[in-house]
Amino acid sequence: MYFAALLARTEDGWEASDTELDDVETLSDLSDLAREAAAEAGAEDDTILVFIEQEDAWFGVVRIDGEEDPRIYVSDAAAAARSSYGEILLTDELLGKAPDGSDAVDDLDALDLDGTEDGEPDGASASDDEDAGAEVVPPGPLGDSGVLVDLGVTEKDLLTLDGADALSEIADALGASEVLETVR
Protein backbone atom coordinates (compact mmCIF):
# COMPACT_ATOMS: atom_id res chain seq x y z
CA MET A 1 0.00 0.00 0.00
CA TYR A 2 1.35 3.38 -1.03
CA PHE A 3 0.62 6.89 0.10
CA ALA A 4 1.63 9.99 -1.83
CA ALA A 5 0.88 13.61 -1.00
CA LEU A 6 1.97 17.03 -2.14
CA LEU A 7 2.59 19.80 0.37
CA ALA A 8 2.83 23.32 -1.02
CA ARG A 9 3.97 26.20 1.16
CA THR A 10 1.81 29.24 0.53
CA GLU A 11 1.52 32.63 2.19
CA ASP A 12 -1.23 31.15 4.37
CA GLY A 13 0.78 28.09 5.44
CA TRP A 14 0.98 24.57 4.07
CA GLU A 15 -1.63 23.16 1.72
CA ALA A 16 -1.79 19.41 1.16
CA SER A 17 -3.28 17.32 -1.59
CA ASP A 18 -3.18 13.62 -2.18
CA THR A 19 -1.91 12.62 -5.57
CA GLU A 20 -2.07 9.68 -7.91
CA LEU A 21 1.28 8.56 -9.27
CA ASP A 22 -0.12 6.11 -11.83
CA ASP A 23 0.94 8.27 -14.79
CA VAL A 24 4.30 9.26 -13.28
CA GLU A 25 7.23 7.37 -14.77
CA THR A 26 10.21 9.66 -14.14
CA LEU A 27 11.42 12.23 -11.65
CA SER A 28 10.75 14.86 -14.31
CA ASP A 29 7.10 13.73 -14.51
CA LEU A 30 6.85 13.93 -10.72
CA SER A 31 8.38 17.42 -10.69
CA ASP A 32 5.96 18.60 -13.38
CA LEU A 33 3.00 17.18 -11.44
CA ALA A 34 4.16 18.92 -8.26
CA ARG A 35 4.70 22.24 -10.01
CA GLU A 36 1.23 22.07 -11.61
CA ALA A 37 -0.35 21.38 -8.23
CA ALA A 38 1.61 24.24 -6.66
CA ALA A 39 0.49 26.63 -9.39
CA GLU A 40 -3.13 25.69 -8.67
CA ALA A 41 -2.53 26.43 -4.98
CA GLY A 42 -0.87 29.75 -5.81
CA ALA A 43 2.53 28.56 -4.62
CA GLU A 44 4.45 28.05 -7.88
CA ASP A 45 7.55 29.94 -6.66
CA ASP A 46 7.46 28.49 -3.17
CA THR A 47 8.56 25.19 -1.69
CA ILE A 48 6.78 22.03 -2.76
CA LEU A 49 7.29 18.73 -0.96
CA VAL A 50 6.28 15.37 -2.33
CA PHE A 51 5.88 12.67 0.30
CA ILE A 52 5.82 9.03 -0.79
CA GLU A 53 5.71 6.02 1.50
CA GLN A 54 5.20 2.31 1.20
CA GLU A 55 3.67 1.10 4.45
CA ASP A 56 6.51 0.70 6.94
CA ALA A 57 9.16 -0.28 4.36
CA TRP A 58 10.45 3.12 3.19
CA PHE A 59 9.57 6.75 2.62
CA GLY A 60 10.83 9.44 0.31
CA VAL A 61 10.77 13.22 0.30
CA VAL A 62 11.23 15.24 -2.87
CA ARG A 63 11.68 18.99 -2.48
CA ILE A 64 11.13 21.38 -5.35
CA ASP A 65 11.90 25.07 -4.93
CA GLY A 66 10.68 27.07 -7.93
CA GLU A 67 12.50 25.96 -11.08
CA GLU A 68 15.47 24.43 -9.24
CA ASP A 69 16.30 20.75 -9.66
CA PRO A 70 14.47 18.49 -7.19
CA ARG A 71 16.26 17.43 -4.04
CA ILE A 72 15.58 13.85 -2.97
CA TYR A 73 15.85 11.84 0.23
CA VAL A 74 14.93 8.15 0.47
CA SER A 75 14.90 6.39 3.85
CA ASP A 76 15.86 2.94 2.51
CA ALA A 77 17.16 2.84 -1.05
CA ALA A 78 17.22 -0.97 -1.32
CA ALA A 79 13.57 -1.24 -0.24
CA ALA A 80 12.59 1.63 -2.56
CA ALA A 81 14.36 -0.07 -5.49
CA ARG A 82 11.88 -2.95 -5.20
CA SER A 83 9.00 -0.51 -5.67
CA SER A 84 7.80 1.09 -8.89
CA TYR A 85 7.37 4.42 -7.11
CA GLY A 86 10.73 4.12 -5.42
CA GLU A 87 12.41 3.60 -8.77
CA ILE A 88 11.18 7.05 -9.81
CA LEU A 89 13.23 8.60 -7.00
CA LEU A 90 16.36 6.48 -7.45
CA THR A 91 17.85 8.39 -10.35
CA ASP A 92 21.24 7.57 -11.83
CA GLU A 93 22.60 10.76 -10.26
CA LEU A 94 21.33 9.78 -6.82
CA LEU A 95 22.85 6.31 -7.22
CA GLY A 96 26.17 7.80 -8.34
CA LYS A 97 25.96 6.45 -11.87
CA ALA A 98 26.78 8.15 -15.14
CA PRO A 99 23.66 9.44 -16.95
CA ASP A 100 24.09 6.97 -19.83
CA GLY A 101 23.52 4.03 -17.47
CA SER A 102 27.16 2.98 -17.24
CA ASP A 103 29.13 3.31 -14.07
CA ALA A 104 31.50 6.23 -13.77
CA VAL A 105 34.32 4.00 -15.08
CA ASP A 106 35.63 4.59 -18.58
CA ASP A 107 34.37 1.53 -20.45
CA LEU A 108 37.03 1.86 -23.13
CA ASP A 109 39.76 1.04 -20.60
CA ALA A 110 38.00 -2.23 -19.78
CA LEU A 111 37.90 -3.51 -23.36
CA ASP A 112 40.34 -6.13 -24.66
CA LEU A 113 41.38 -6.37 -28.27
CA ASP A 114 39.75 -9.81 -28.49
CA GLY A 115 36.31 -8.23 -27.89
CA THR A 116 35.88 -9.32 -24.27
CA GLU A 117 36.05 -7.15 -21.20
CA ASP A 118 38.99 -7.52 -18.79
CA GLY A 119 38.37 -10.36 -16.40
CA GLU A 120 35.59 -11.81 -18.53
CA PRO A 121 36.21 -15.35 -19.76
CA ASP A 122 36.00 -15.87 -23.52
CA GLY A 123 33.01 -18.19 -23.07
CA ALA A 124 30.79 -15.88 -21.00
CA SER A 125 27.12 -16.81 -21.19
CA ALA A 126 24.10 -14.55 -21.63
CA SER A 127 23.03 -15.26 -18.06
CA ASP A 128 26.41 -13.98 -16.82
CA ASP A 129 25.76 -10.73 -18.70
CA GLU A 130 22.30 -10.42 -17.11
CA ASP A 131 23.74 -10.97 -13.62
CA ALA A 132 26.44 -8.39 -14.26
CA GLY A 133 23.81 -5.86 -15.35
CA ALA A 134 21.73 -6.30 -12.21
CA GLU A 135 21.63 -3.03 -10.33
CA VAL A 136 22.95 -3.08 -6.79
CA VAL A 137 21.30 -0.47 -4.61
CA PRO A 138 22.73 0.17 -1.16
CA PRO A 139 20.49 -0.47 1.86
CA GLY A 140 19.69 2.43 4.13
CA PRO A 141 19.23 6.16 3.56
CA LEU A 142 20.24 7.77 0.29
CA GLY A 143 20.10 11.30 -1.01
CA ASP A 144 20.07 14.76 0.51
CA SER A 145 19.58 14.31 4.24
CA GLY A 146 19.65 18.11 4.62
CA VAL A 147 16.62 18.53 2.37
CA LEU A 148 14.43 19.83 5.22
CA VAL A 149 16.97 21.51 7.52
CA ASP A 150 15.76 25.07 6.83
CA LEU A 151 12.19 23.89 7.49
CA GLY A 152 13.00 22.57 10.99
CA VAL A 153 13.94 18.91 10.40
CA THR A 154 17.63 18.33 11.06
CA GLU A 155 19.70 15.79 9.15
CA LYS A 156 20.06 13.72 12.32
CA ASP A 157 16.29 13.72 12.89
CA LEU A 158 15.58 12.72 9.30
CA LEU A 159 18.13 9.90 9.39
CA THR A 160 16.64 8.44 12.58
CA LEU A 161 13.08 8.24 11.22
CA ASP A 162 11.88 4.86 10.07
CA GLY A 163 8.93 4.04 7.82
CA ALA A 164 6.34 3.97 10.60
CA ASP A 165 4.84 7.44 11.09
CA ALA A 166 7.88 9.16 9.54
CA LEU A 167 5.87 11.43 7.27
CA SER A 168 3.57 12.39 10.13
CA GLU A 169 6.58 13.31 12.26
CA ILE A 170 8.04 15.40 9.43
CA ALA A 171 4.70 17.13 8.86
CA ASP A 172 4.45 17.82 12.59
CA ALA A 173 7.88 19.48 12.58
CA LEU A 174 6.80 21.57 9.57
CA GLY A 175 3.56 22.60 11.26
CA ALA A 176 1.60 20.77 8.58
CA SER A 177 0.37 17.66 10.41
CA GLU A 178 -3.30 18.67 10.29
CA VAL A 179 -3.29 19.33 6.54
CA LEU A 180 -1.42 16.11 5.85
CA GLU A 181 -3.88 14.08 7.90
CA THR A 182 -6.79 15.52 5.91
CA VAL A 183 -5.47 13.84 2.74
CA ARG A 184 -4.37 10.59 4.36
**Predicted local confidence at residue 106, as pLDDT:** 47
- The mean per-residue pLDDT over the stretch 174-179 comes to 94
CA distances from 96 to 8, 28, 86, 111, 131 (A): 29, 18, 16, 22, 20
| Closest among 173, 143, 179 to 159, alpha carbons compared | 143
* E strand or H helix at 143: strand 142-143
Q: Does pLDDT of 160 surpass 80?
A: yes
CA distances from 34 to 26, 39, 150 (A): 13, 9, 20
Q: Is 5:183 a contact under the CB 8 Å cutoff?
A: yes
Q: How confident is the model at residue 37 (pLDDT cuts 50, 70, 90)?
A: confident
Q: Is 147:61 a contact under the CB 8 Å cutoff?
A: yes
β-pair partners for 71: 63
The predicted-structure confidence for 123-140, as pLDDT tens digits, reads as follows 544 444 444 444 688 899
Q: Does pLDDT of 63 surpass 50?
A: yes
The set of residues, in sequence order, having a beta carbon less than 8 Å from that of 176 and lying 6+ positions away, is 7, 13, 14, 16
- What pTM was computed for the model? 0.79
Q: How confident is the model at residue 87 (pLDDT cuts 50, 70, 90)?
A: very high
Cα angle at 132 between 128 and 133, to 5 degrees? Answer: 120
Q: Does pLDDT of 76 surpass 80?
A: yes
**Predicted local confidence at residue 98, as pLDDT:** 67
Q: How confident is the model at residue 143 (pLDDT cuts 50, 70, 90)?
A: very high
The predicted-structure confidence for 89-117, as pLDDT tens digits, reads as follows 999 999 988 665 455 444 444 445 555 54
C-alpha torsion sign, points 164, 165, 167, 173: negative
